[in-house]
Amino acid sequence: MSFPLINIDEIGSLQIAQFQEMDYEAIKKYNIPIELMMENAGLNLARLTASIISKPQNILIGIGTGNNGGGGLVAARRLLAWGYSVYLHIPNKKLKPLPQLQLDRALAFGAIIEQHTNPDIFLDAYLGFSQRLPLSEVYTEALVTANAYDCTKISLDIPTGFNKTSGDLLFNPNIILTLATMKTELLPIIDSHQIYIADLGIPNQIYNKFGVKFPAEFNQSGILKCYSS
């Protein structure tokens, strides 16, 4: 499956801190539940993953304690329903309430908590836009292991361990599925990494307020592949 192309130079980008404000504005003003945006993020991650590999194949998802991990668990549930084998690596078992609910759902669908040693694809859903450096030891070790996997690797929103100031990557994915809009900090790596944008369901009025263009192409698939001219 191919996804529509979008020129980032034409729609603009937001710094990660600005996107945090955008996300909060959508929740506050339009009463969009976090769980709904988590569902949209996870569904689009699952759809992108399914466009890359055939079934049945083994998918390993790295799960964090917060909303990014929750999105990974939504993806796990959707992929399991589509016939894939899904394994979960959860370095910190103290999940927040909503990700814990998503974990319970994923386990009911057949997810296995096990760090598969030879996955066909790895999804990084450890930490999202609110991550802070330096990472804890458990995540640093997880990224060392993940970097060594001989498979396609996808990060959800922002690669775990990404240095927003320098652009350095502790985890180096092949693909990044960023959420709602391009992040300015990711622009320097747009030529070396495949970057996609996923529709979170944020209304175009919010995009206008923050000075970026709503990607009208979302109506075709909910996932757009980015390029810069």
pLDDT score recorded for residue 130: 86
pLDDT score recorded for residue 2: 86
Look at phi and psi of residue 23 and say left if phi exceeds 0, alpha if psi is from -120 to 50, else beta: alpha
Phi, psi of 98 (to 5 degrees): -70, -45
Q: Residue 196 is encoded by which pair of tokens?
A: 């996609």
d(CA 207, CA 203): 7
Residue with tokens 């001219």: 229
Domain count, the chain: 1
CATH of the domain at 121: 3.40.50.10260
Task: Decide: helix, strand or coil at residue 7.
Answer: strand
* Mean pLDDT for the chain overall: 96
- 30-46 per-position pLDDT tens digit: 999 999 999 999 999 99
Average pLDDT over residues 63-75: 98
Residue type at position 77: R
Q: Residue 17 is encoded by which pair of tokens?
A: 């801190």
Question: Residue 148, exposed/middle/buried by CB under 10 A (0-12, 13-18, 19+)?
Answer: exposed
Radius of gyration of the chain (CA): 16
Q: For residue 182, what are the domain limits?
A: 5-227
Task: Decide: helix, strand or coil at residue 183.
Answer: strand
- Count of other CB atoms within 10 angstroms of residue 116: 18
Question: Would you say residue 66 has pLDDT above 80?
Answer: yes
Q: Residue 71 is encoded by which pair of tokens?
A: 């999105």
Question: Would you say residue 191 has pLDDT above 80?
Answer: yes
How far is CA 113 from its chain centroid? 19
CA dihedral 146, 148, 154, 160 (to 10 degrees): 40
pLDDT score recorded for residue 209: 96
